[in-house]
Chains A and B, each alone.
Chain A
């Protein structure tokens, strides 16, 4: 993680820190050169690299060819659950403690639609958040921590390509030259 240092003695802090993943980090100033680099990396067979950007861009998503995010499933299930909970809550409670008013139905759906609607939105929104957090955490399930440059949140783009331990040395050099050829401003190992 970039800047959060736990206020613990150094030895304990080491326990909590994830081991660093070896690889190559490239910094780009321009979007199009980074997109070229992504194409080159994919052509060379690399699939498990991370792209950093200060803003989301459709071009990056397109170049990476990622499937649609599963967050929408969370939203849908949350919304349906909210509607069901709203309906159940209002109808069950109305029959459990009936307010009998001159011939009017005890459990009356039109006013309950309002509550069902609000619960749909509430549960849908909360499960969307859960979906984002869960998916983002799941995607970050790497065995180690990957390097980050603070300029990535400002105006630089970045690519980090992990190198497996068996391809150490030779593999990393090839990746470095590929990234430099694509137009990276800086390339470093780490």
Chain B
């Protein structure tokens, strides 16, 4: 793995202790944040109870807009999940050293984002108690699901993605939990002793672990690319103008990684500041994340141009009308938010000054996610609302409190799990950060003072 040595006072011991110090001793600020997340979640739960009692009519659905904010949020959260696996699995295969300091947070974000996304298909079906009909279970009517439907593909893809991401996260955590186990006391020591599964760092353990980790990364890589492709086919397999495009799979995957990297930056900036991890998560890491953002943002910009060009070039009047409606119809404000935040904003990242300015990156990352939420809104809602053959039906879609309540609840759910994670398990990978440091060798006398060389 590429070794780039940070300041020489960053030794193995420094890494272990700095990261172990972030666990335990939650402050009042932490409990305030956690309380806010739980409060948002409570709003979501109350809204869900109303939906269960009174039905989906509480949401803003109107003919022909029957997929709206809930599906937007679903695609939004699944998209965010993808960059975590990209950073942890795909960059692992590329042997990039900088990923080590950021991938644990990204992977945890992935698992919790998939958990959040998975709530939405359950919420939006309305009769949630029938959700098990989607599962191929033997029943006395002899029914099986329709495997030609992208919604069933979704079920398999997202179920697999959740399982594999969770398993990947847990595998990576084991050596790190062992490291904090050896420094912990009290009830945490017991928790870590159990969850580290008796890890001792013996050569036999590392041998099988590293091979297995490599194969998990290799399996997770095509999974990332396939899952959001499958999600995009929820739309592309339909014939709605604006949905029915072969571009959707790569377009959505690039957009997913774009929004996910934005969320990683949003999460890492406070983690780095509040946990004082400046020497481990450096400006160099943020710059690389910004470069990923720029790359995927450019692909998304290009996709917007392609979509619009092909709609015009096709000569198909329905397709042309759909894209005209997007830009100049009643939802023009959503389209222009999307185009500016996703099409123009990433171009700021060409400037090294912007890429290395943490505050600027934080602000940009928030707008990235706003823009990506609106992209899904525009694709889903505006394409449906603009269906030309229903202009007589005068469809105007407006989200209601039920839509926003569930969305707020999803943010609460995600941040609650994430906050619980960062205070109880190492949010930065201890063993992998050590892997990119030069190991302590007695053989070479190091010119700079520091702990990593010379006789002790």
Contacts and interface: CB of A to CB of B under 8 A. Distances in A.
Contacts of B24: none
Contacts of B179: 54, 153-154
Q: How large is the interface on B (under 10, 10 to 19, 20 to 34, 35 or more residues)?
A: 35 or more
A137 to B, nearest CB: 9
Contacts of B443: 30, 32
A90 interface: yes
Contact of B201 (A61, A124, A152, A185): A152
Contacts of B145: 93
A21 interface: no
Given A32-B443, A33-B442, A115 B198 contact: no
A61 B439 CA distance: 15
Interface stretch (A9-17, A39-47, A64-72, A168-176): A64-72
A50 B203 contact: yes
Q: How large is the interface on A (under 10, 10 to 19, 20 to 34, 35 or more residues)?
A: 35 or more
B136 A124 contact: no
A118 B211 contact: no
Contacts of B143: 97
Nearest to B163: A122
B4 interface: no
Given A97-B144, A139-B205, A139-B208, A154 B182 contact: yes
A128 B11 CA distance: 32
Contacts of A126: 163, 167
A89 interface: yes
A50 B204 contact: yes
B144 A52 contact: no
A13 B137 CA distance: 44
A108 B210 contact: no
A84 interface: no
B194 interface: yes
Contacts of B431: 54-55
A2 B193 contact: yes
The winner among A56, A66, A89, A94 for most chain B CB atoms within 10 A is A56
A66 to B, nearest CB: 6
B272 interface: no
B216 interface: yes
The winner among B199, B204, B431 for most chain A CB atoms within 10 A is B204
A60 B13 contact: no
Contact of A89 (B136, B200, B226, B442): B136
Interface in B121-168: 136, 142-148, 152-153, 156-157, 159-160, 163-164, 167-168
A93 B442 CA distance: 64
Contacts of B144: 93-94, 96-97
Contact of A129 (B159, B178, B212): B212
Contacts of B441: 30-32
A39 B240 CA distance: 68
B3 to A, nearest CB: 12
Contact of B220 (A114, A125, A129): A125
A177 interface: no
A68 B214 CA distance: 13
A72 B440 contact: no
A32 B443 CA distance: 7
Which 3 pairs show the lowest CB-CB distances between chains A and B? Answer: A155-B12, A150-B182, A139-B204
Given A125-B219, A155-B440, 17 more contacts: A4-B193, A32-B443, A111-B147, A114-B230, A118-B159, A118-B226, A121-B226, A124-B219, A128-B216, A129-B167, A136-B204, A139-B208, A140-B205, A153-B181, A154-B13, A154-B179, A155-B13
Interface of B: 11-13, 16, 136, 142-148, 152-153, 156-157, 159-160, 163-164, 167-168, 171, 175, 178-179, 181-183, 189-190, 192-194, 198-212, 215-216, 219-220, 222-223, 226, 230, 431-432, 434-435, 439-443, 456
15 contacts: A2-B198, A2-B200, A31-B439, A54-B16, A54-B201, A61-B203, A75-B215, A94-B144, A114-B230, A128-B219, A140-B202, A150-B182, A151-B182, A153-B179, A153-B199
